[in-house]
């Protein structure tokens, strides 16, 4: 499963119910659920108004659970709610525009914490660069092999420390091809002379 689909599955809210317009007035005061109604095969989110029995309906869009996150975000420009369904057209939950940024930020923080834990606990050399060739992760194993501390290299272009033609990681970035068990070679002036 693609990581974006994992995130999508985590941010889908499941505290919802589909009801009828006849029943909505009696249920809208239940703040533990978001209610939706289906009228003429179109979903609408029920939003409580300022007065007790005042209900407003906002148009929703239905997406499948395997909808790319990028597409879901595009739909959220036009819809306050997205109802998420499976291939059998059963509703699984919903996305809400108002909480989407918070939900995505939380998942990003969790993913970064997980990645940071892995990178801080492996013994191997692992280097991660961004699209501008700046080093964003540099493990203790890389420090040991190349005698360059993370403090000195993180945030700086990797080409300040290695010759461009000897960087497998740049080849990966440029050609989108994985590199496994390949070595980088530091510039001659940075090599240890034991």
pLDDT 10s digits, 10-47: 888 888 989 888 888 778 777 788 999 988 889 999 98
**pLDDT grade, residue 186 (50/70/90)?**
low
What is the rounded average pLDDT of the residues 165-184? Answer: 67
124 in Cβ contact with 141 (< 8 Å): yes
Q: Look up the pTM and report it.
A: 0.67
Write down the mean pLDDT value for the chain. Answer: 84
**pLDDT grade, residue 189 (50/70/90)?**
low
Angle at 72 between CA 85 and CA 23, to 5 degrees: 45
Three-state secondary structure call for residue 148:
coil
Name the packing angle between helices 97-121 and 3-11 (round to 10°).
130
Q: What are phi and psi of 93, to 5 degrees?
A: 170, -160
pLDDT 10s digits, 77-105: 999 999 999 999 899 999 999 898 899 89
Task: Give the DSSP H or E segment for 94.
Answer: strand 91-96
β-sheet bridge partners, residue 134: 157
Q: What is the pLDDT of residue 55?
A: 87
pLDDT 10s digits, 39-60: 888 999 998 877 777 888 999 9
Residue % of the chain over a pLDDT of 70: 85
């Amino acid at each position: 499963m693609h990581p974006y689909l994992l995130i999508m599955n985590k941010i889908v809210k499941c505290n919802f119910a589909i009801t009828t317009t006849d029943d909505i007035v009696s249920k809208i005061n239940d703040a533990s659920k978001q209610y939706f109604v289906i009228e003429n095969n179109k979903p609408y989110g029920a939003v409580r108004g300022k007065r007790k029995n005042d209900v407003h309906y906002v148009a929703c869009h239905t997406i499948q659970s395997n909808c790319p996150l990028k597409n879901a975000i595009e739909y959220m420009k036009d819809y306050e709610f997205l109802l998420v369904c499976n291939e059998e057209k059963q509703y699984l939950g919903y996305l809400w525009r108002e909480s989407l940024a918070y939900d995505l930020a939380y998942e990003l923080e969790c993913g970064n914490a997980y990645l940071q834990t892995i990178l801080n606990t492996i013994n191997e050399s692992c280097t991660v660069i961004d699209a501008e060739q700046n080093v964003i992760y540099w493990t203790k194993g890389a420090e040991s092999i190349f005698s360059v501390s993370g403090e000195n290299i993180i945030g700086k272009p990797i080409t300040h420390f290695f010759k461009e033609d000897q960087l497998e990681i740049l080849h990966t970035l440029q050609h989108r091809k994985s590199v496994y068990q390949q070595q980088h070679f530091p510039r001659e002036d940075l090599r240890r002379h034991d």
